[in-house]
Structure 1
Amino acid sequence: MAADDELGTGETAPDLLSLHESIADLFATRGDWRRAYRHLRSALDIARAGSLRDPLTSSYNRRYLDQRLPELPAAVAVALVDLDRFKSVNDTYGHLLGDRVLCRVADLLQEGLPADAFCARYGGEEFALVLPGIDHRGAVRIADAARLRVARHPWSELQPGLRVTISVGLAHGTGSGPRQLHRADNLLYAAKRAGRNKVAFHDCETARVITHSE
């Protein structure tokens, strides 16, 4: 069984890791080295998978992002997402609720992603959406749909008076994955300067920076 399959059973990775290690020890004491080896391999797979996941949000982490980006085709689209005024959320409601907001946003960002796309926590309140094989128009549609899901989410159910929005910098075109991430970072600042709760991207025909919102 693959590590990702096991992680989806409801048990935590540390629990499964300990379980496989214990079973491996049991088989080893009985001299059944083949089964012991198989369970040790499963434990290694789980440990490896856990090292590529963000422990808070369960999305991929910066390490996974740094590994995958150089491997992707040059036409990859990258969206860099930042929660607007997130420091104010932490200061007003506390870090515990801030962590719950981060987890909920991570879930909302991952909804509706194409099969080959993935979401990674870039650091703090920033996430990256990596969209291989998606054309410019499709990437804009995906990024703005994510922005709308966050803006329209019933945050008051989590905390009365709470409102959460995101700004998105979207890079698409020629260039390596790391280069696209750098472009997305610059475009994210454009979205912030335009008033937040927007997607900023380069227009394909004019090379102008477009900021899009409702």
Structure 2
Amino acid sequence: MQNPVRHFENAGRVESEDATSLIELYKSVADLLASRGEYKQAYEHLRYALELATDRVQQPQVPQQFRLEVDRLRRENAEAREQSIRDALTASYNRRYLDERLLEVVELQGGIPSGGLAVALVDLDWFKSVNDTYGHLVGDRVLQQVVELLQVGLPDGGFCARYGGEEFVLMLPGVDGVTATATAEAARARIEQFPWSSIVIGLRVTVSIGVAHQPPADGRTPVNPEQQLRSADGLLYTAKQSGRNAVAYRVGGEVRLSGAPVRRPR
């Protein structure tokens, strides 16, 4: 990698304030590279930061090459950050981003946001049989399509994250319990009604969902995000036990179901 600091030698020294900005950018990129195991490149970025830190002279003009280098580093930093929080297969957010956002919503807002916070844990029904019957390439295509369907109609600030394997989480901030359940039920219905035979003849895909909703804190102790995910997991288990292809949620202390199993004759 060519040392970008050399580009600035014939253009004059940079302003102290701008040099500090570049040093911080080099450090940020180095941290991201190290987190991905690219230690040699991380070292190079740290070395450039050290050179700038030990060789700064304030000048009134900032060289254009320096500005271009700052812009490039910012893009590189943003791209590396985006890659670090995305699932490689489905392009949904990953577990790391989910954990960060759950803590951020609760801690930065001093409790549950206005309207409440819901998490919906989504699990594909009989997904192992999809892989066994049609192969893992079809299984991968199914996961990608499910994510596309789950991301439709989410509220502002809402997103889909891959929780692991064939499990996904919908984070739904600022919504009441009725809206959260309706959003989950709409996602379940879209997946059930999607023309899966367009991928391979005979394919059918459904999901089961557990929705855990927490109302605004109103002075109460903020909910622990892990507890809310565990609650959603317990409701997901209820949806599975009901016959799958269902949404389980609570109204008061009562567990209720919506979806296909509810309509099946007993």
Equivalent in 234, 248, 266 of residue 186 of structure 1: 234
SS of residue paired to 1:89: helix
Equivalent in 156, 160, 182 of residue 119 of structure 1: 160
1:172 matches 2:205: no
Equivalent in 77, 81, 93 of residue 118 of structure 2: 77
Distance apart, 1:38 and its partner CA? 1.9
CA contact (8 A) 1:70 1:178 kept: no
Structure 1 unaligned runs (5+)? 1-21
CA RMSD of aligned residues (A): 1.6
Bigger CA radius of gyration: 2
Structure 2 counterparts to residues 97-108 of structure 1, below 5 A: 97-108=138-149
CA contact (8 A) 1:53 1:59 kept: yes
SS of residue paired to 2:214: coil
Structure 2 counterparts to residues 38-187 of structure 1, below 5 A: 38-73=71-106, 74=112, 75-174=116-215, 175-187=223-235
Task: Compute the TM-score of the two structures, normalised by the length of structure 2.
Answer: 0.68
Distance apart, 1:95 and its partner CA? 0.3
Encode CA deviations 1:168-191: one digit per residue, 9 max, x unaligned: 000012523332111101110000
Q: Comparing 54-63 with 28-37, which one deviates more in the overlay?
A: 28-37
Equivalent in 184, 195, 203 of residue 243 of structure 2: 195
CA distance in 1, matches of 2:214, 2:92: 25
SS of residue paired to 1:161: coil
Amino acid at match of 2:84: S
1:213 matches 2:259: yes
Tell me the percent identity.
53
CA distance in 2, matches of 1:29, 1:55: 36
Hey, what does 1:4 align to over in structure 2?
A: none
Distance apart, 1:146 and its partner CA? 0.2
CA contact (8 A) 1:80 1:168 kept: yes
Higher relative contact order (Cα pairs below 8 Å, separated by 6+ residues) = 1
CA distance in 1, matches of 2:227, 2:159: 18
Distance apart, 1:88 and its partner CA? 0.2
CA distance in 2, matches of 1:36, 1:127: 38
CA distance in 1, matches of 2:139, 2:211: 25
